[in-house]
Amino acid sequence: MRHDVTIAAIHGKVPRIHPSAFIAPGCRIIGDVEIGPEASVWYNCVIRGDVNRIVIGARTNIQDGTVIHCDSPDPRHPQGFPTLIGEDVLVGHMVMLHGCTIHDRGFVGLSATVMNGCVIESDGMLAAGALLTPGKRIATGQLWGGRPAAYMRDLTEAAIADMQLGVAHYVANARAHSEALSADGSAES
């Protein structure tokens, strides 16, 4: 890992990061966090699994400045709210994810917020700047937007296909960044 990345255990929980994942400089990854193969966590993200678990699936990208947290168990919610992110998910720059679930191929736009108990199903999209309030569910193939977010329309097949092109782009771009950082001496083995 790079010297300018914080990977820290807390409460006996150590982050588990697949060797093929890209973790950019400036990231802070703490506690019960699992990051899958070819996932990418971009510059200056904070992923804090100190009170529950956080899972980031294969090929998912967490773009620059994003904050991911979870919520503790309590009497009304005995399991608390982990943050569970599936495979091939796109998470835009400066997003806030808190105690939510994003299924495979979900999309969260730039500067959006997803709160406790929310679910974004496969191929669902939350628009840039949107606020998905607690307990809301975006169904497969739907676009939601606004503050608070509401259903806007169904996505076209072309829009869903474009999201998957974005996933492939980020996997390749992460490799390029990893190689560039290694080549200029910014990385340590």
Nearest to 8 by CA among 49, 41, 61: 49
Q: Which two tokens stand for residue 149?
A: 């977010």
Domains of the chain: 6-182 (2.160.10.10)
Q: 126 and 120 in contact (C-beta within 8 Å)?
A: yes
The pLDDT of residue 183 is 84
pLDDT of residue 185: 62
C-alpha 182/C-alpha 166 separation (Å) is: 24
Low-confidence ranges of the chain (pLDDT < 70): 1-3, 185-189
- Cα distances (angstroms) measured from residue 63 to each of 7, 51, 90, 112, 113: 18, 23, 8, 12, 14
pLDDT for 186: 52
